[in-house]
A and B are shown apart, each in its own frame.
Chain A
Amino acid sequence: MKRLVLTIFVLSTLFVTAGFAQNLTVGFTVSKTGALNVDSLEQYRGFELWRDQVNAAGGIKAGGKNYKIQFVSYDDESNTKRVQQLYSRMVLQDNADFLFSPYSSSLTATAAIVTEQYGKIMLTTGAAEGKTYTLGNHYLFQMFTPGAEYLKGTLDALKAKDPKATIALVYEDASFSVAVVNPAKAYAQQLGLNVVFTEAYAPNTTDFSAIIDKVIASKAAVLLGGGHYADGSTLAKQLYEHKVPLKMITLLVAPDSDKWTELGDSAVGVMVPSQWEPQTAFKAQYGLSGADFAKAYTAKYNAPPSYESAGGYACGLVLQRAIEQAGGPDTAKVAAALNATDITTFYGRTKFSTAANEHGLQIGHAMVLAQWQKDKSGLVKQVVWPLAAKSANLVYPIH
């Protein structure tokens, strides 16, 4: 009799546990090939670390059940042509419960048409262009601070340090950098700063001599712009080689990479607007601390996390909290929880706009400004703005 009772107990425990352990499928595409490969891979690592940590802790606990996370993902070849095919497949064939965005604004905009069509929630990261959110969506939620905010920190810092400085805007003629620079130009005028030179260069430009001559002729003291890694790093090198007397240089995206140190002296003093840096010690109300994230990431991938990786991890964290608050994976309830989200994690504050004309736009997260500075150990990236989050003082002028 005792044995029978024990057997029934063990079996029922197994049954109950099995009943509670459910899987949630999260779908996304990764640019395993093509131009976006490096940044997309860093974003993917953020997703992956989040999944592994959640599953190691027994899954997401919501409504008395445990949900383990499984991924379904495909290579989008850094190309919008494939994105709708693959997102439709993930929704319809792979039965994805939730979606994360591809890397980059244009791929995300294309995926959004499909996710909206099927009423699937898509958390977007690595996609700063704000236009997609103004087109009447209901299920998009943006983790990155929109492009229009990227250079505001630099301009605020410049206004505080040297309001009479003259500015040159030199940027890649591509959708992301244009979406960043145009609002920055308007903001500079609003602050009373003087933009004396503006020029866009073709993507993949390798010789900046002509533009640099024009910058010198304009007598600009500050240069803002760039685009992605290849052009940004070449521009920085050539500015240094031409000995352009600039007091401040801020470039998009490129200086965030740890490869930036390979530029040697031309890397010194260059600043980058960043969605997140390991030094930004936000007091996390939910999830792990920034230091723990950086430690776990470095241990797993043997490289420091970039802000793309942090955005990827935070994407998972915000979804996890929304599922917990909704008591399960029901789309409408999770969407409502995301709409009500106002939380600070290691990544900073996250709050989504609920206005009909810009639903899902990120309105809570603030960017920081990081600067490459020399110390005893060599080149180090320091947070210099906003002052409340700084890890070192802004070096101005750099030459």
Chain B
Amino acid sequence: MILRHPVLYIILAFAAIMVWLPLHGNNVSLREDLILVAIAVILASNLNLMIGYTGYVNFGHIVFYGLGGYIGLYLAAEKGWNLVLAALLAGVGVSLFALVLGLGILRLRGAYFALATIGILVAVQSFVANFDPWGRSTGLYVSFDAYEKLGGARHALWVTYFLVIAVMALSMILSLGIKMSKFGLGLFAIREDEGAAVVLGVNTTVYKAIIYSVSAFLPAVAGALMFYKNGMIDPSIAFEFMLSLEGIVMLMLGGKGTVIGAALGGGLYEKLRSYLLTSPKLSNFHLVIAGGLLLVVVLFAPGGLIGWLYKAVPRSRKVLE
């Protein structure tokens, strides 16, 4: 039962702290830092469903975030829809798109699948850059007046923050729920030996397509919220390959295949990058230091931080999923 699992309460406590911290003393600057942490956790957690649980490396995961951003921004800013409704519809739309796509490309394995995901990213970016209703390569902008519906820009940014935190908590709960389910067991079987999983009766094609689609839903919702908050979107920002790669780095850092590891990796990576970027002494070397630290983790703790913790404190394996 998920309700009895301690990780659920760790997730809820984490989300509550994320809400309370900036709210206490109306610390908007902290809120802006934490929203990026939350986005990193969302991206890493959902990417973990593919890489960590199923063993399929998705280099184009950011396509879901960008497409969600476009659909959400188009509906909320151009068509005047309610933001929550627009974000949910963006999630549903992108999930359906991923399901159809997944049934096709998930027949590929290993490096071929990874290459196909890069191809999808490039193809979607090119399509959007030539799609008139979404402003082609110029993109879409949110009018300052559009925030009035949420009580003005100041209030709107708080609302989007709380919604992003909710999506973050849901991402982690979803990861936990899947990990504890029979469906999750099927995914792990695919990860360990896909051929053996087929023999054991796992419908691997359907399982993979479903998880591919599920892993698209919450990043798409988050994309809709985040780009609405940012006030603009264009193809180069929405489908940034670098962000896809960073998602994989976050997973390696925290420990792929674990709920807490993915979130920890996402959160820590973002905090580290933010700190280095704004540190007066280190800002000129921020990329070098970030790269060096990651190299150390990969070399000396290949299971990520959670893998290292499992080794150091074996009992933690029973508590932390």
Interface residues in chain A, defined as those with a beta carbon under 8 Å from any beta carbon in chain B: 32-33, 74-75, 77, 79-82, 84-86, 88-89, 92-93, 106, 109-110, 112-113, 116-117, 129, 131-132, 135-137, 173-175, 178-179, 200, 202-203
Known: A85-B36, A116-B144, A117-B157. A92 touches B230 (CB 8 A): no
Contact B234 A175 (CB under 8 A): yes
Contacts of B157 in A (CB 8 A): 117
Interface residues in chain B, defined as those with a beta carbon under 8 Å from any beta carbon in chain A: 27-29, 31-33, 35-36, 126, 129-130, 136-139, 141-145, 153-154, 157, 229-232, 234, 236-237, 240, 243, 274, 277-278, 283-284, 286-287
Contacts of B277 in A (CB 8 A): 74-75, 77, 82, 86
Contact B234 A106 (CB under 8 A): yes
Question: How many A-B Cβ pairs are below 8 Å?
Answer: 92
**Complex Cα gap A200–B277 (Å):** 36
Contact A92 B232 (CB under 8 A): no
B270 CB to closest chain A CB (Å) equals: 10
Contact B278 A80 (CB under 8 A): no
Contact B29 A93 (CB under 8 A): yes
B237 CB to closest chain A CB (Å) equals: 5
- Can you offer 23 A-B residue contacts whose CB atoms are under 8 A? A75-B277, A79-B240, A80-B232, A81-B36, A84-B230, A85-B35, A86-B277, A86-B278, A89-B32, A92-B29, A113-B144, A117-B153, A117-B157, A131-B138, A131-B141, A135-B143, A173-B130, A173-B137, A174-B137, A175-B137, A175-B138, A178-B137, A178-B138
Contacts of A77 in B (CB 8 A): 277
Known: A80-B232, A85-B33, A202-B126. A74 touches B141 (CB 8 A): no
Contact A88 B29 (CB under 8 A): yes
Beta-carbon nearest neighbor of A87 in chain B: B32
Known: A74-B277, A74-B278, A81-B36. A175 touches B139 (CB 8 A): yes
Beta-carbon nearest neighbor of A203 in chain B: B236
Which secondary structure dominates where chain B touches chain A? helix
Contacts of B36 in A (CB 8 A): 81, 85
B156 CB to closest chain A CB (Å) equals: 9
Contact of A88 among B32, B130, B143, B243 (CB under 8 A): B32
Contacts of B237 in A (CB 8 A): 79-81, 106
**Complex Cα gap A129–B141 (Å):** 12
Contact B29 A178 (CB under 8 A): no
B300 CB to closest chain A CB (Å) equals: 27
Contact A136 B143 (CB under 8 A): yes
**Complex Cα gap A37–B137 (Å):** 21
Contacts of B274 in A (CB 8 A): 85
**Complex Cα gap A106–B139 (Å):** 10
6 further A-B contacts with Cβ under 8 Å, apart from A77-B277, A80-B230, are: A79-B237, A81-B243, A109-B141, A109-B231, A113-B231, A173-B129
**Complex Cα gap A33–B276 (Å):** 13
Closest CB pairs A-B (n = 8): A113-B231, A136-B144, A117-B153, A88-B32, A92-B29, A85-B32, A175-B138, A135-B143
Beta-carbon nearest neighbor of A106 in chain B: B234
Contacts of A75 in B (CB 8 A): 277, 283, 286
Contacts of A84 in B (CB 8 A): 32, 229-230
